[in-house]
């Protein structure tokens, strides 16, 4: 039975989620502080950390994600945000979360996400995924501090299509070609076709360079007014 460590100060969310997970066959231990979470992970590093980033959580809590990811690499982290909080979701993913759900998600979606993340996947609420796709699609200028010799897209670069942005977002979340195909209901050949055109537009030659363009050394695709953020290298699913 998989142990879940729930970090939250939201009593209503705690009660609802705990009841839901216990009925789904999970064990749940509730922690109120980052320190308590780290002490628990020292004993059970392979636990699943459920990290509440809603309004009742201290704004500084999210800053602990990189240190948790670095210190406990076998711990999978599923972040939880308030409904529609795409900015917080994106920041959580950039800082090391393996997936993100809205706290208002229905029970069947939550249990499916738990199964996905335990199997090495990267679950994401549909509305949050659409927000990430939109952000990538709007990003024709990309910031990157590693691979400086590459010819990067500039303001005249050909913009990504909706499908290419969708695939790029999944690529940066660590999905394999097969995982991408299953997520957006495409054949593998179609995924490879779109990746070929995506690489051409980004002026890169491989999957590694495409993800590096997004995340290496703290860089992320942003609009002209945006700024880069950091996260660990995503794992393959």
Q: Which residues of the chain have pLDDT under 50?
A: 140-156, 216-237
pLDDT (tens digit per residue) in 109-162: 999 999 988 888 888 888 887 777 666 555 533 433 333 333 344 443 578 888
The predicted pLDDT at position 233 comes to 39
Q: Which residues contact 171 (CB under 8 A, 6 or more apart)?
A: 180, 195, 198, 207, 210, 211
In tens, the pLDDT along 5-16 reads: 999 999 999 999
Q: How far apart are alpha carbons 179 and 169 in whole angstroms?
A: 12
Q: How far apart are the first and last CA of the chain?
A: 22
The pLDDT score that the predictor gives to residue 212 is 63
Which single residue is written with the structure tokens 């590096």?
212
Residue 34: its pLDDT value, please?
Answer: 93
pTM value is 0.64
Q: What is the pLDDT of residue 123?
A: 86
Q: Name the nearest CA neighbour of 173 among 90, 234, 96.
A: 234
Q: CB-based burial of residue 206 (10 Å sphere; 0-12 exposed, 13-18 middle, 19+ buried)?
A: exposed
Q: Which domains does the chain possess? A: 3-123 (3.40.50.2300), 131-218 (1.10.10.10)
């Amino acid at each position: 039975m998989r142990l879940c460590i729930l970090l939250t100060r939201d009593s209503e969310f705690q009660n609802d989620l705990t009841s839901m997970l216990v009925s789904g066959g999970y064990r749940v231990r509730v922690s109120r502080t980052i320190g308590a979470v780290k002490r628990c992970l020292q004993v059970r590093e392979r636990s699943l950390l459920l990290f509440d980033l809603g309004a009742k959580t201290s704004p500084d809590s999210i800053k602990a994600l990189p240190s948790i990811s670095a210190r406990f690499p076998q711990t999978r982290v599923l972040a939880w945000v308030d409904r529609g909080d795409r900015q917080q979701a994106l920041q959580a993913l950039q800082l090391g979360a393996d997936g993100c759900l809205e706290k208002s998600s229905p029970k069947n979606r939550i249990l499916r996400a738990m199964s996905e993340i335990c199997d090495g996947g990267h679950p994401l609420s549909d509305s949050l995924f659409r927000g990430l796709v939109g952000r990538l699609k709007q990003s024709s200028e990309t910031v990157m501090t590693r691979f400086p010799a590459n010819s990067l897209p500039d303001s005249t670069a050909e913009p990504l299509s909706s499908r290419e942005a969708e695939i790029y977002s999944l690529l940066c979340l660590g999905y394999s070609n097969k995982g991408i195909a299953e997520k957006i209901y495409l054949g593998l050949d179609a995924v490879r076709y779109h990746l070929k055109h995506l690489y051409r537009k980004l002026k890169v030659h491989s999957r590694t360079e495409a993800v590096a363009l997004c995340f290496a050394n703290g860089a992320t695709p942003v609009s002209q007014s945006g700024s880069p953020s950091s996260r660990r290298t995503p794992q393959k699913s």
